[in-house]
Structure 1
Amino acid sequence: MLLWLGFAVLTAGVVAALLRPLLVGTPTDTSLQPTGTAVYRDQLAEIEADRARGLIAETEAEAARVEIARRLLATADATKDAPGTAASRELRTVATVVAAALPVLAIAVYLAVGAPNQPGQPFAARGPAPGAAPSVAQLVAKVEERLRSHPEDGRGWDVIAPVYLRLGRYPEAADAFQRALRLVGESTDRLAGLAEAHVLANDGIVTEIARKSYERLRELAPDRMEPRFWLAVAAEQDGRFEDAVKVYAQLLTEGEAAAPWRPMVEARWQTMRTKLGLATEPAPTAKKDAAPEAKSTGLAPALANEDVRAIQSLPDDARKQMIEDMVAGLDKRLRDNGRDLEGWQRLIRAYTVLGRREDALAALARARAAMTGEAQSLEALGALAQSLGLAS
């Protein structure tokens, strides 16, 4: 209530300042009153002096005094009855009433149509505006608030851990993955996330926790290349260059000929050979079976083996044009039907292999928009972007 009284006082002060010219009043002829009275007084003194010197008779002096008195009274009456004086009094009255009534009227209107009894709501606690989608920061804040009051909510830690990882909050991601593993159980995604968070939090160093996670991940998913690569990096960091060279060579042999990670692995393979004092030689090549070659276009498994052989038999220009046409066709199909995660992955890989990075980024953005609300699909797209060097 004191707040509203303060508002009322402030309003009254503002109104008074605006109406000040009316409260002060306007100049009138009353400012001439002191000067007029002095003139008449001087005239009376001159008449008395002339009578004393015998210049005028007593009768004439008396008549002059009466005339001066009449003028003095007329001047006083004119000043009293001047319209400006009465108007000033009326304006002062109106100004006083307005200054007093306006705050009272404002409070009365607010009490009638407002909600003075509603509790205050801090800005930080307010939700998004109606119809507006909450931001990532708001969603993360909500999950964090729940986890503070329910720290044993394994599902909450499982949800927020990959979000922390994508936001670059690596130490928090590592802690969240660790809690999710303890509370929800072991899975390949949680092990991979825990290992990745530790590696990124330590500037590429494969820590002991990351190494154990990758070793366990390799047991659960022996076909995945990610744990094998990082275990080779760990061997490098431990000075076991021979072990690292063997793993890199095996990856290059088993991997796709056009895999985006291949140049990086080749560079590390050559570096390890140099440290071992081995002679420079061409990097191991991928196996020459049909399936990997189909994947090397970035369109697998959209192509059958016959299609692959047909493409390989064409001249370079014709083969490139056919691949471009197939990529364009896939792009068009996904514009019409965007709920195809595998199609988006093939398109993004294809653009990357073709060196069209901007198109790959645009396709990644469209894929994420099409997969809004599907956490697993979005996570798969994020992992693909990370592996292709498209993550921002």
Structure 2
Amino acid sequence: MIEFWLSAGLLCLVAVSFLLIPLLRGRKVQAEEDRTALNVTLYQERVRELEQQHLAGTLDAAQLQAVRDEAARELLADTEGSESRQARRLGRAVPLMAVVLVPVLAVLLYLQWGAIDEVEQARTFAGEPHSIEEMTVRLEQAVRDNPKSAEGWYFLARSYMAQQRAADAARAFEEAVKVAGREPELLGQWAQALYFAADKQWSPQLDALTSEALKADPEEVTSLGLLGIAAYEEQRFADAIGYWERLVAMLPEGDPSRQAIAGGIARAREELDPQNGDKAVQASQVGGLQVRVELAPALRDKVQPSDVVFVFARAAAGPPMPLAAKRLTVADLPATVSLSDSDAMMPQLKLSAFDQVQLVARISRAGDAKSGEWIGQGQPVASSTQDVQRLIIDSADGTQP
């Protein structure tokens, strides 16, 4: 910050120097005015001497008038331009007041509307940190300089969590909530930090925070995940499954945490029903049903790269709606996708709940999963199979459901 204030001070000195110029010029004008006044006094004394000489008879009237005219001309020559300079002259008070007020007003206005906090924060974060510890130190300095920065407290809390400093993270999240308000995301992450800081012991405060977060946003992912973990630790496996299934349904496809959550759901199901747990685990493990989707060569000129491809599994004997589905485009083909309980379309209809499923791939230019232009269908297979299933899109899509 020293460099900033030095630069600002130099700029103020430049501005003040322009205000001092009229004051310095005023001194020169004053000197000229003093000389003019002296000339006028000398002229008046000269006129009085000439008049005395005229009374004494030394000068006649004509000579007196001639000498007086000559003295007047000399006075006019000496004082020429002094009036215009006097008209342009500033008073001393105005420049002196400006010299004092300009720096003071500049500082006050900058403190009111300037961006000193942003300048300091940019200076703090200049350059890439070499470690998470260095990043944490920078964030700690940033919140000391600007304790009203919700972003600073939030990222500091995340940094603490990454270092497994849950108690420090909880305090930082609390400060972020004080600044930013009781946002559902902040409440959920605050509760998560408190939970791990208390060695995974549930408390009324955690219950209040997660309830408030989910009331404001039923899809707040951190609260759902935390409630599932707490329920699993307390062996309330049905509750854990319910929270985690809600969470999985909200996560986007390709999210790496989906598979981990699906594994947790499978373990909770196994705890509830050990006899059927193996089947649930198989369907929810990494990979699930592996499907290799290809486009028949005869159709390559009849589709567009942007056409949507739906790959789904439905019960071989049961409801017609898909149990699990993935969405691709023709440009992605050929592709290998996995279908598991984490891709369920409806929480109550899981892939692992059916012994036999049929795999279908449909191309729909309009993006409609229920009807399209081309389709490929496989024979019923066991939902727990680990073999890669090959699916070729090669037929016109008619009235297939």
**TM-score of the superposed pair, with normalisation by structure 1:** 0.36
Q: When you count helix as a share of all residues, which structure comes out higher?
A: 1
Q: When you count strand as a share of all residues, which structure comes out higher?
A: 2
**TM-score of the superposed pair, with normalisation by structure 2:** 0.35
